[in-house]
Chains A and B, each alone.
Chain A
Amino acid sequence: MKDELCALWLSLRWSDLRNNLAAVLRRHSAPFTTILPAKGQEFERAWDTFLQASILDLQRRQRHAKGEWPDMFGMAIGLMGEAGLLRDHLSDHWDRLVADGRIGRCDPEAEFNKIVRIALRDMRKRVMPLSPDRQKTWNRLDRISRDLSRASPYGKAERCTRTHFREILDHCFEAFPDDKALPRTLNTIEEYFYENCPDCLDVLPEDTDKSALADRQEFSDVLSAEELMLLPDADARISKLSNCLKKLEAIERDVVEMAYGLGVVSYPSVAIFCSSRTLSRRDFYQLRSDAEAKLKDCVFSLRS
């Protein structure tokens, strides 16, 4: 595979590669999650079974996938050249679980998922170390995150949520509108945090490690508005969304309308909107998250 294509999958398309590779690895995790293998030969056998099944699965997907996806699975197979890191992480972690006496009380699948995420991050770093530019961008994002949480400090888990990432994104747009060095999408900010933030190590990325999703969702599914509007009955779905908006509580509706520029009154920034409503920024982003969850359920509910 060409170098630039590898770099693309390891940078801009990393979340696609990571999520798909993690989903495949989880499918073959049984040797580690159904029977917890003891150190030594038993662990080695479990590892060989797991690795062989995972590579065969990736090769099968590479053969059958269409469009750009064979390249992605090819890259995933290449990345598995660093699978020794995953093996070491698994071995160390299983040892720690035994030593801490948590082995019978933990959820093996959740533990496996956590290790896969950490290992994939390290495998990526080994094949593509963080460039000075990305390091600089991460330092700035980290500083912005800490500044935003100074008023009411975030806990570890809160710092690694989409609500906080969105707060950072909006701050980037508001405070640095012309600064092209800062990320302009939620996914990119999420990537920086899961790649670099020590607080995020124990927190799984939202929506990417749920087994129901991982079992079925093999390919990236984030569509643009233009693509989504190509679906049948898109206009009817927009009308339904308008009706769903009316069902929200007034403050939730105001927040969502402000966030998407739909309100009658237009506010130049989240800060000005919040001060006009005596809301904290965190309240704003929490209300937005809650409202979007309600809207999602409402707009995609099946017709009765």
Chain B
Amino acid sequence: MKQGKLAVMLANLASLQTETGSHPELDASRLEEGILGRPPFTPAEIDALWSSPSLRQSFLDVRRTVIGRFRSRWEASSFSAPAILRAAAGNADLTIVQGNGWIVEIVQLSDASWAISLTLSVEARAQIPAMAEILLADDGLLEWGRGRLSGQGALDFEWPHAESPLVRMHSHRLAVDLV
């Protein structure tokens, strides 16, 4: 919650920025390389992105194109197939949803709180550019969570809704997408 409000404040502060012109130029091909992580952006390049409104706009334009390209491939691959809850795991507090190239673990922490962990296989991760965000959502258009994968290919978050994820899984299918 606080993180979200700080992000709103950061966006407002960014809208007050003016161009100083004192940053290194990054052309579209370098932006694409950085987005793919080949090689990743240097600290000076990251500073440039945060200090220049026009560079940020270019970054987002290039990112949109790059992610769009990867997303088309992802959607055409078997990794995008939705998965259903097949059987409970041995542990009563742990439920597992197995997708093609990914696995979701749902751990009940208390009566009304759950921790969700999504892990992608090495093959699935190879289809995803470094700076893409992963979206986990069900076919009822409910977003479970989104974010960047860790170095181990995992995305961990707390269940953000009131309805139980287990109840949800009895009537919906779960899928992974790129955004």
Residues of B within 8 A of A215 (CB): 19
Per DSSP, chain B at the interface is helix
The answer to whether A207 touches B7 (Cβ under 8 A) is no
- A181 to B143 alpha-carbon distance, docked (Å): 31
Query: B40 — nearest CB in chain A belongs to which residue?
Result: A232
Instruction: Pick the contact of B5: A216, A222, A228, A261 (CB < 8 A).
Output: A261
Asked if B141 CB lies within 8 Å of chain A CBs, one says no
The answer to whether B47 touches A292 (Cβ under 8 A) is no
The answer to whether B12 touches A292 (Cβ under 8 A) is yes
The answer to whether A296 touches B61 (Cβ under 8 A) is no
- A228 to B3 alpha-carbon distance, docked (Å): 13
Q: A292-B16, A300-B13, A300-B17 are in contact. Are A242 and B57 (CB under 8 A)?
A: no
Identify the B interface with A (CB < 8 A). 2-21, 34, 40-41, 43, 46-47, 49-51, 53-54, 56-57, 59-61, 63, 131, 133
Interface residues of A in 171-228 (CB under 8 A from B): 207, 210, 212-213, 215-228
The answer to whether B15 touches A222 (Cβ under 8 A) is yes
Instruction: Among A215, A227, A292, A299, find the residue whose CB has the most chain B CB atoms closer than 10 A.
Output: A227
- A293 to B16 alpha-carbon distance, docked (Å): 8
Could you tell me how many residues of chain A have their Cβ less than 8 Å away from some Cβ of chain B?
42
Query: A256 — nearest CB in chain B belongs to which residue?
Result: B9
Instruction: Pick the contact of B6: A207, A217, A242 (CB < 8 A).
Output: A242
Residues of A within 8 A of B18 (CB): 207, 210, 212-213, 217
The answer to whether A225 touches B4 (Cβ under 8 A) is yes
The answer to whether A295 touches B13 (Cβ under 8 A) is yes
Per DSSP, chain A at the interface is loop
Query: B16 — nearest CB in chain A belongs to which residue?
Result: A296
The answer to whether B15 touches A262 (Cβ under 8 A) is no
Q: A230-B133, A238-B6, A241-B6 are in contact. Are A302 and B51 (CB under 8 A)?
A: yes
The answer to whether A228 touches B57 (Cβ under 8 A) is no
The answer to whether A238 touches B3 (Cβ under 8 A) is yes
Instruction: Pick the contact of A300: B4, B12, B50, B54 (CB < 8 A).
Output: B50
Residues of B within 8 A of A299 (CB): 10, 13
